[in-house]
Structure 1
Amino acid sequence: MKNIFDNVYFTSILNAISDGILIADGQGKVLWLNHACENLANISRSKIIGKTANTLENQGVFMPSATKMVLNKQNTVSTVQTTVQNRKYITSGHPIKNEQGKIELIVAHARDITEAVRTNSQLEETQELLKRYSQEIIKIRQKNDFVASEHFFMGKSPAYLSIISMVDKIASTDTTVLITGETGVGKNVISNRIHQLSERCHEPFMEINCGAIPESLIESELFGYKKGAFTGANSEGKAGLIKMADKGTLFLDEIGELPLHLQAKLLQFIQHKKWLPIGGTEHQTANLRIIAATNRDLLQQVQEGKFRSDLFYRLNVLPIRVPSVKERKMDIIDLLQFNLKKYNKKHKRECKFSKEVLKNLQAYDWPGNIRELENQVERLVIISAHDEIRLEDLPFQMQQKEKTAFNLNKYEKGKSLTDILETIEREIIEEAYAEFKTTRKTADKLGITQSLLMRRVRKYGSGAKRIR
């Protein structure tokens, strides 16, 4: 072995290599090392040659020792070493065995990766910083877009501010979301905002209303089908919405309407990110985020056996409850004015609300929520005979005139509740007719059909004779 290291050509070649080379015997004692290895150890070769791998590791010269690892595993190994100068090296140890399979030599080869690690760390930090900047830019852009186009995203009520804060936090994650709330509160708008503020914003946003599609068709709409899967199927097959939403977001509206047998299939997809198309024999995979929404009490449906509990808990990871309009009283005026401006532009009008109208509309409970508010404003812009929308333009149920205390004494004693209610109904009809003059307008303001109004007139006879 000594003759090998005395060979000037051999040692010159190894010393010309910029990577560290160390050669040890079958017991792990260092026989020779090149100049690069001496430099990385930062101690003279005389303090290394003749020492065992175990001793050098204990002294902190090579941590961990690749030579020692080769002896333990009796095979080639690779590891990352750290020196006392806190430099990092990727080191491989290679055993050289004799014909009997016994290790005679161990060659360790080390390459300095300190700068590469530092650069990679800086790159990761830069990427993380860019990610945060990108998210902030997306939020600013989407905030501006939504203020201009979506009536939900405006207001100062605590209920509104709370939901917006929650949406912005949830958007930056990639977890399943369950949105609940009354009909018409804007659950679809919320889901779209989550998608637009997420890292998936440049990928597809696919939407399906589980209650609007017949049970016989919804499976094929969601999961797709293969060629010839059933009679009447498209000859080329069909990619379902899950496939179409790959890398993006799938919004399942009215999830409470999904049939039980499909709930199991959806659960399997959420858990494993794979599904089987109708008529298919091979599973397909997709990477997407699921957002579900419902106006039902899913927990109650679980208790009634109408919704799978395991699917409920899979969906309910990040629940969001969207507040109703009556919980956002402070925002109603802003919502009204926003929609008034929108429909004035659409119908080329210059309408404005009178103070009395605004007062009444703010006091109204809006059972249909934002959808009802939006539709009602458009109706008022269309039917208003003047530029100022007046109290008489409002539907009867929105005309909240000053209330007076109910006086039971004004009705004859001994009358039954049915008789009193009929008297009140007759008085309401007569007062409404006196104000609106025609049976058509009266019926419209009372929220009933004209034929029903006339039946009531005939029922009450002489008390309503002046209505024709």
Structure 2
Amino acid sequence: MLKEKDLYLPEYFGEILNAISDGILISDSRGVALWVNQSCLNLINRSREEIIGKSSSDLEEMGIFNPSVTSMVLKEKTMVSTVQSTENKRQFMVSGHPIKSEEGEIELIITHSRDITGTVRTTSKLEEMQALLKKYSQEIMEMKRRSKKEESNEFFVGKSKASLSMINLMDKAALVDTTVLITGETGVGKSEIAGKIHQLSERSQKPLVEINCGALPDSLIESELFGYKKGAFTGADKGGKKGLIAQADGGTLFLDEIGELPIHLQAKLLQFLQQKKYTPIGDTKSYIADVRIVAATNRNLQLLVSEGAFRSDLYYRLNVLPIKVPSLRERQEDIFHLLQLNLNKFNQRYDRQCKLSSEAFRILQSYHWPGNIRELENLLERVVITAPTSEITSKQLSTHFHEPQELPLNILEAEKGQSLTETLEKIERKIIEQAYEKYDTTRKTALELGISQSLLMRRLKKYQLTKK
């Protein structure tokens, strides 16, 4: 009677793989074919001698596999899936899986191919064929999520309801090819969400191009986005310039701080979203680019629309699939795990063995974190670097927080005949007025006060506060 260990004997191992109807090819760390099952040979109509000992590049040049998934795995260092064509005009859905050593080096590459030629040929409509390929791609991506051990990323740590809801929506966004609008406070990880959506999407093999709309002068954003033709303006490159939209063709364009996009460029972006067409500066010809738009902002776009600073038609076109990234105040259950992860990360980076005392943990968990994950990460890095001992105490933490300022006595003294509500409103008005003068913009003021920008705007209106 066969036992479990017998299944690993070469004779049984080969018989098992040869019984599979799908093609299996095993290559070494250089991409040289070591073993192939009979199904694969039947599918490509080749002999074993023509495959074994050949490198992936050789097999690709011979037209046996096009493109070579083995070569793609060696380049990407991770699992790769694609539709492959062979010299005999057959089509396969192929996945390449790297087998790595304990040190993380690739030792073997297993490619698994499924013949979809008959299905494609008998499909009467292009839409049905595309749906079939999309279905296979989604199955492969789901398998990839389950089988691939993702690297730790602090922005996706935690099991709070708010985090799980956001991650679930992010996964759904990756499966569809529509515009996504990511909102949330500064420092919550909006760019990381955009990167993860691209990584898990069907566009992952194409570029992810990013532009911060608030970091460039108005005069440069248009040329960066749309590019320009030779001699379009004084100081332009002699050969012209390829814009970011053209660079992202086939992939994803991430527009960070979309709320800062100048109003005169919003119409051009809207035209591109609707027609996939754009016109470089100084050119009379329009070009088409297959680009998915993912935008992000920490501003209230609806409020900007009401103020006339943002086009309503562009807002509704961007807001097809909104994802709100929760602040740390909304996912306090995750703070403990975030602290542990970042503490381990910086201990390893700076060769320390720091640990937080129970009181220090309590303080950090109860802190309101106006800068969110970015502030948490920066604080722990600073504490690990400067801690005089391996134990980080609450006393050491106190030097890294801003001490709360006491309100002047004349503010706290209620005028005769004033109710408690009137006194509190007086205090609130004074705090907002001082903060607005200090931090200059409503976004920075709201962040420092720990309130939403929309709430701040309502309070400014209520107390009739304006910049002096």
Which band: TM-score by shorter chain? 0.5 to 0.7
Given the alignment, which residue of 278, 283, 288 partners 2:281? 278
Q: For the residues of structure 2 that align with 1:160 and 1:379, how far apart are their CA atoms?
A: 26
Q: Is the 8 A contact 2:259 2:297 kept in 1?
A: yes
Q: Are 1:170 and 2:156 counterparts? A: no
Q: Is the 8 A contact 1:179 1:320 kept in 2?
A: yes
Residues 74-130 of structure 1, C-alpha deviations (whole Å, 9 max, x = no match): xxxxxxxxxxxxxxxxxxxxxxxxxxxxxxxxxxxxxxxxx9789625995974553
In structure 1, the residue matched to 2:377 is 374
- One-letter amino acid matched to 2:141: Q
**Uncovered stretches (5+) of structure 2, i.e. residues with no partner:** 1-116, 415-468
Q: Are 1:394 and 2:392 counterparts? A: no
Residues 263-296 of structure 1, C-alpha deviations (whole Å, 9 max, x = no match): 0000011111011101111111100100000000
Q: For the residues of structure 2 that align with 1:118 and 1:203, how far apart are their CA atoms?
A: 24
1:277 match: secondary structure: coil
In structure 2, the residue matched to 1:334 is 337
In structure 2, the residue matched to 1:139 is 145
Given the alignment, which residue of 196, 199, 204 partners 1:196? 199
In structure 1, the residue matched to 2:213 is 210
Q: Is the 8 A contact 1:135 1:197 kept in 2?
A: yes
Residues 309-342 of structure 1, C-alpha deviations (whole Å, 9 max, x = no match): 0000000000111000111110001001101111
Q: Is the 8 A contact 2:179 2:293 kept in 1?
A: yes
In structure 2, the residue matched to 1:186 is 189
Q: Is the 8 A contact 1:361 1:398 kept in 2?
A: no
2:259 match: secondary structure: helix
Q: Cα–Cα, structure 1 residues 116 and 182, in superposed 2: closer, same or farther, change >3 Å?
A: closer
Residue 345 of structure 1: how far off its partner (Å): 1.0
In structure 2, the residue matched to 1:120 is 122
In structure 2, the residue matched to 1:354 is 357
Q: For the residues of structure 2 that align with 1:141 and 1:286, how far apart are their CA atoms?
A: 33
Give the number of aligned pairs: 293
Residues 138-179 of structure 1, C-alpha deviations (whole Å, 9 max, x = no match): 43367x33xx24211110100000000000011100000001
2:361 match: secondary structure: helix
Report which of the two structures shows the higher radius of gyration computed on alpha carbons.
1
Q: Cα–Cα, structure 1 residues 417 and 241, in superposed 2: closer, same or farther, change >3 Å?
A: closer
Q: Is the 8 A contact 1:250 1:288 kept in 2?
A: yes
Residue 362 of structure 1: how far off its partner (Å): 0.2
Q: Is the 8 A contact 2:181 2:323 kept in 1?
A: yes
Give the alignment's TM-score, normalised by structure 1: 0.59
Q: Is the 8 A contact 1:360 1:400 kept in 2?
A: no
Q: For the residues of structure 1 that align with 2:210 and 2:297, how far apart are their CA atoms?
A: 13
In structure 2, the residue matched to 1:453 is none
Q: For the residues of structure 2 that align with 1:128 and 1:242, how far apart are their CA atoms?
A: 24
Residue 399 of structure 1: how far off its partner (Å): 9.6
Q: For the residues of structure 2 that align with 1:132 and 1:177, how far apart are their CA atoms?
A: 19
1:152 match: secondary structure: helix
Q: For the residues of structure 1 that align with 2:240 and 2:339, how far apart are their CA atoms?
A: 47
Give the alignment's TM-score, normalised by structure 2: 0.59
Q: Cα–Cα, structure 1 residues 417 and 254, in superposed 2: closer, same or farther, change >3 Å?
A: closer
2:322 match: secondary structure: strand
Q: For the residues of structure 2 that align with 1:417 and 1:212, how far apart are their CA atoms?
A: 39
- One-letter amino acid matched to 2:122: N
Residues 46-73 of structure 1, C-alpha deviations (whole Å, 9 max, x = no match): xxxxxxxxxxxxxxxxxxxxxxxxxxxx
In structure 1, the residue matched to 2:236 is 233
Q: For the residues of structure 1 that align with 2:359 and 2:152, how far apart are their CA atoms?
A: 28
Trace 1:46-445 onto structure 2 (pairs within 5 A).
120-121=122-123, 127=133, 129-140=135-146, 144-145=149-150, 148-396=151-399, 416-417=410-411
Q: Is the 8 A contact 1:170 1:194 kept in 2?
A: yes
Q: For the residues of structure 1 that align with 2:383 and 2:119, how far apart are their CA atoms?
A: 67
Q: Cα–Cα, structure 1 residues 391 and 271, in superposed 2: closer, same or farther, change >3 Å?
A: same
Q: Cα–Cα, structure 1 residues 397 and 116, in superposed 2: closer, same or farther, change >3 Å?
A: closer
- One-letter amino acid matched to 1:258: L
Q: Cα–Cα, structure 1 residues 191 and 128, in superposed 2: closer, same or farther, change >3 Å?
A: closer
1:161 match: secondary structure: helix
Which segment drifts farther, 388-397 or 317-326? 388-397
Q: Is the 8 A contact 1:364 1:398 kept in 2?
A: no
Residue 395 of structure 1: how far off its partner (Å): 3.4
